[in-house]
Structure 1
């Protein structure tokens, strides 16, 4: 099986759907959906990922997965056997289904970690840095996430899923995540009870306080519901896309590195070693004096404000 085939076939589809959405938006009076400077910045991120992706896939992802699979699943008496004693998984249809579910569980925690660990957020913020939500934003991906994402998934080949099956599940995840970045798909009724949908992903890309760090799931919303991060789109709330501390630049290098620069500035000014570590590995927004707030702190203040003054809009402290 050619491990690169799924996403190679996907790239022309991505481009076709982006062009279709651009055409549709212009013919239906929604010319502000795409801003060209913003779109070209997203495109630069996408091209960079397309160039770096295959190289990193070969040197990191496939190497790590293959080594892990073979180490934990040696051939014993001619049979690939997991070190825990059972025969490693094959290529039956139910293995693909189980692997896809395992992928979605892993994606949830990988994605959530990208929002809750600042050094990872510095890599992931690239994807959220646009003030626009469209299929062009879907390809606005950080390059540094490619380096550490495989390590979240190592447990899957370790327990016996063939490397090809894991790669295929990752590709399906990428296809689903791409198509979620559209505002033209309405709420989908019963589908939203199980699957992560377009309106749920709008919540994920919003900077409204109540929407921050919600809906991390891949193609399912089950894990968001189980672990308390699910949020439905409120039709009465105007969604504001983007991030609180945006790079305010269309320069790809600035978009890629601005949060790393901010982390370095915070680390240099920190007086305690423990504070330096928290600035790197703690939640985004953390500060020892409360001058900036984490998402949980902002949401707690917002709830307290609504309880005291339900008719007055909450003003974000930072």
Structure 2
């Protein structure tokens, strides 16, 4: 049975094998996870000292879960992006750039950041690209958990923007590593606990600059796209300062109003497909996907629009009982361990086990988010995913192709059974009037 990594395009298999020989045996994001959570802890502590409400529990769970979902699904989707890059590198490169040169690495990072600016900018200006990127902007909070909130469908078109690196001859290893550096840099700029930084704000992407980017206020809309350098925005006319008199208001102009991670990823694609079906002219059916987000053809634009007012829009916060929140917190911690295990074993997992593991992890996240929405389907979804894991454990004698030792099987079965009982006992809580969805953290 083929492993997950063996399913890259045949033409690029050699280069992929060479790249695999140079990279760590597991996804480096796994090593960053403890750092992510440590920094979240520091952010919570700072907010507590300042008596600020930095986090909403349900929103943070949803954002972190979407990040985990992106990484787990990326076991497969990143092979598409990397495979295309390798093919372009093998057959279209103009120069031979060696990975042993510091100039190549620095030039690669600078070029990647420039290309990222355009990828990010067009992700706000073209409907189908916004459909992928919107996930990152759906949260109505702005904190380090928002940084982890990532789409699972960026790979569909994102690879196009980085092909110039392949054509210029930047080796795949350089492409992967500088991309990771660019991504990790952007984590710390998602916070309200760091103010303006003087000259740094004029050169680099910073918390102040990125708060502007996430704002839906008129003055902040579609500004500050830079990943590491904010100079790109200054040069191409997309820069805006954060004004003390007008704090950014976060979210999207068409709010999601859900925690469901599947719907979060499909929301805008669904709207585009629906409008494409409804409009009459073929030209408009296609234009919807390439025009600016929110554009509609004449036969659809006639419908009356509700005026946008970000200042009088309550945040989405369903009321759920405190015991439901505790249950979700415990299950979410277990799910994060499952996600880390899935990433750590991805290289060795046979394809069928890998697909099953990813599907089960996603189903688990959907179930937990349904609890946070106060949806009665949460009990059925949770019972289904826990029951499926128990059945798989009994049938295969292993946890998704690994950990077949009897003590570990017993521990896993005990946890699953205890979780199933707890979920069934919590069912009445979804019909009770409940406490607020999320007590302010900090």
Q: Does 1:41 align with 2:62?
A: yes
Residue 134 of structure 1: how far off its partner (Å)? 0.3
Equivalent residue in structure 2 for 1:71, among 70, 74, 91: 91
Residue in structure 2 matched with residue 240 of structure 1 by the alignment: 249
Q: 2:182 aligns with which of 173, 176, 179?
A: 173
Q: TM-score, length-normalised on structure 2?
A: 0.61
- 2: CA distance, partners of 1:145 / 1:198: 23
Alignment check: 8 A CA contact 1:138 1:178 kept: yes
User: Which of the pair is proportionally richer in helix?
Assistant: 2
User: Which residue in the other structure is 2:47 paired with?
Assistant: 25
Matched residue, 1:77:
none
CA distance in 2, matches of 1:10, 1:2: 15
1:286 and 1:292 in contact (8 A); partners too: no
> Residue in 1 aligned with 2:375?
none
1:56 to 60, 72, 77: 77
Question: 2:149 is matched with which residue?
Answer: 140
Shift in CA distance, 260/190, structure 1 to aligned 2, threshold 3 Å: same
Q: CA deviation at 1:272?
A: 1.4
Shift of residue 226, structure 1, vs aligned partner: 1.6
Calculate the aligned-residue CA RMSD, in Å. 2.3
Q: What is the match of residue 281 of structure 1?
A: 290
What is the distance in 1 between the residues matched to 2:172 and 2:155? 17
Alignment gaps of 5+ in structure 1? 74-81, 299-312
- Counterpart among 6, 10, 14 of residue 36 in structure 2: 14
Q: Counterparts of 1:156 and 1:242 in 2: how far apart (Å)?
A: 33
1:291 deviates by 5.3
Deviations 1:276-318 (A, max 9, x none): 112111111112345589xxxx9xxxxxxxxxxxxxx999xxx
**Please, what TM-score do these two structures have when normalized by structure 1?**
0.83
CA 1:161–1:180 in 2, change beyond 3 Å: closer, same or farther?
same
Match of 1:164 among 149, 173, 176: 173
**Is the alpha carbon distance of 1:94 and 1:175 closer, same or farther for their aligned partners in structure 2, counting shifts above 3 Å?**
same
SS at match of 1:188: coil
- Distance (Å, rounded) in 2 between the aligned partners of 1:52 and 1:38: 21
CA 1:5–1:50: 2 relative to 1, 3 Å: closer
**Would you say 1:2 and 2:23 are equivalent positions?**
yes
Deviation of residue 90 (structure 1)? Answer: 3.8
Q: Is residue 210–residue 224 contact of structure 2 (8 Å, CA) maintained in 1?
A: yes
Q: For 1:50, what is the secondary structure of its paired residue?
A: helix
Distance 1:291 1:224, change over 3 A: farther
Which of 98, 115, 130 is the aligned partner of 2:139? 130
| Counterpart-to-counterpart distance in 2, 1:147 and 1:314 | 35
Give the whole-Å Cα distance in 2 for the aligned partners of 1:237 and 1:128: 19
2:171 paired with 1:149: no
Distance 1:25 1:8, change over 3 A: same
Larger radius of gyration: 2
Check if 1:95 corresponds to 2:104: yes
Shift of 1:11: 2.5
Cα deviations across residues 132-169 of structure 1 (Å, max 9, x unaligned)? 00000111111001333223112202211111111111
